[in-house]
């Protein structure tokens, strides 16, 4: 109750992968439980908790979650569903990583993934939820980055086909675990699941990340985020082309220029100077001018007398 006072929970589950516990009482040959005493007590407890939750928090949906990793898990799910009909609103599927009956990673096709999930949906009229699913990308553990990306496409195709039969879907983890983390702090057998993320533990994107973004965008869940991502990708592409062109121009262009055929210029034709025509101006003969007439000088004596 204190948790609900703080958190407005949309979903809650009081048990996860419950068939993993009760399979020890299950006979796979007869497909029945050899003992049901503990099972019935557990179901009775869940029914009371279901009534309590809906009386106090009617908007919250209650889940009962089954493990569905091995193909034979469908047998225990089918046997348990009738017991848990009144314990929940939604049956959850913890698919983890799909394997064969021997625990080896199963490489499923698009149709195989749909058939696995629809097999559970066909067992009940309630909604189902995929609470945990993934596959790994580490090739050393039998995984593949390409198959991990393809599995996401197959998963979203299943979502489209099941439509409103599905309440929600959860991918196990966004980031990979650091190498050795699961094996050191939990169990060496869990180390194989370390590469279930869409990104590496250092944040490097994997093909599965782009597959997830592509599918979420197609579903109309990430329009603005995808636009920014698309613009960034186009910008990087254009920058790479420009960088290449600049590199070619700076580094390679002089080498290309050396190999170009040189064009020999034709010699210039000598300019023939035309003879200049000299025109002589006719000079008019000058008229002879008569010398000036000098006046006769007076005699010296007479001039002196006049001066006197």
DSSP state of 41: H
Same domain, 133 and 202: yes
**Tens digit of pLDDT for each residue in 142-201?**
899 999 999 999 999 999 999 999 999 999 999 999 999 988 999 888 888 999 999 999
Look at the chain and report how many structural domains it folds into: 2
Q: Are residues 244 and 183 in the same domain?
A: no
So what's the pLDDT on residue 244? 81
In a domain, 281, yes or no: no
> Is it the case that residue 99 has pLDDT exceeding 70?
yes
The angle formed by the CA atoms of residues 53, 68 and 143, to the nearest 5 degrees, is: 130
The whole domain housing 207 covers: 2-221
What b/e sequence results for 45-77 when a residue is b if at least 16 CB atoms lie within 10 Å of its CB, and e otherwise?
ebeebbeebeeeeeeebbbbbbbbbbeebbbbb
**Domain identity same for 89 and 205:** yes
Residues 236 and 107 in one domain: no
Q: State residue 102's pLDDT score.
A: 81
Distance CA 9, CA 59 (A): 9
Task: Tell me the pLDDT band of 80, cut-offs 50, 70 and 90.
Answer: very high
The residue ranking higher by pLDDT, 103 or 20, is 20
Contact indicator for 209, 176 with CB cutoff of 8 Å = no
- Does the pLDDT value for residue 249 go beyond 70? yes
**What is the predicted pLDDT for the residue at 308?**
42
């Amino acid at each position: 109750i204190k948790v609900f006072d703080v958190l407005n929970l949309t979903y809650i589950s009081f048990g996860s992968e419950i068939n993993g516990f009760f399979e020890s009482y299950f006979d796979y040959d007869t497909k029945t439980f050899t003992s049901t005493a503990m099972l019935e007590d557990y179901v009775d407890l869940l029914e009371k908790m279901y009534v309590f939750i809906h009386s106090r928090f009617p908007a919250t949906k209650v889940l009962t979650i089954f493990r569905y990793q091995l193909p034979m898990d469908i047998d225990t799910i089918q046997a348990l569903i009738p017991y848990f009909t009144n314990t929940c609103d939604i049956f959850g599927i913890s698919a983890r990583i799909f394997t064969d009956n021997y625990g080896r990673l199963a490489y499923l096709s698009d149709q195989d993934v749909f058939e696995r999930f629809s097999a559970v949906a066909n067992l009940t009229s309630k909604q189902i939820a995929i609470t945990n699913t993934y596959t790994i990308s580490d090739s050393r553990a039998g995984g593949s980055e390409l198959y991990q990306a393809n599995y996401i496409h197959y998963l979203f195709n299943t979502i489209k086909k099941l439509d409103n039969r599905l309440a929600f879907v959860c991918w196990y983890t966004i980031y990979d675990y650091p190498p050795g983390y699961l094996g050191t702090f939990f169990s060496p057998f869990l180390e194989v699941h370390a590469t279930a993320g869409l990104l590496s533990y250092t944040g490097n994107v994997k093909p599965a990340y782009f597959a997830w973004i592509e599918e979420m965008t197609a579903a109309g869940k990430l329009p603005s985020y995808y636009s920014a991502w698309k613009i960034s990708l186009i910008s990087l592409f254009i920058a790479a082309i420009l960088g290449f062109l600049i590199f070619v121009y700076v580094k390679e262009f002089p080498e290309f220029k050396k190999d170009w055929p040189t064009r020999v210029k034709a010699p210039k034709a000598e300019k023939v100077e035309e003879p200049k025509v000299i025109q002589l101006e006719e000079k008019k003969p000058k008229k002879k001018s008569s010398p000036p007439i000098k006046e006769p000088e007076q005699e010296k004596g007479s001039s002196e007398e006049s001066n006197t």
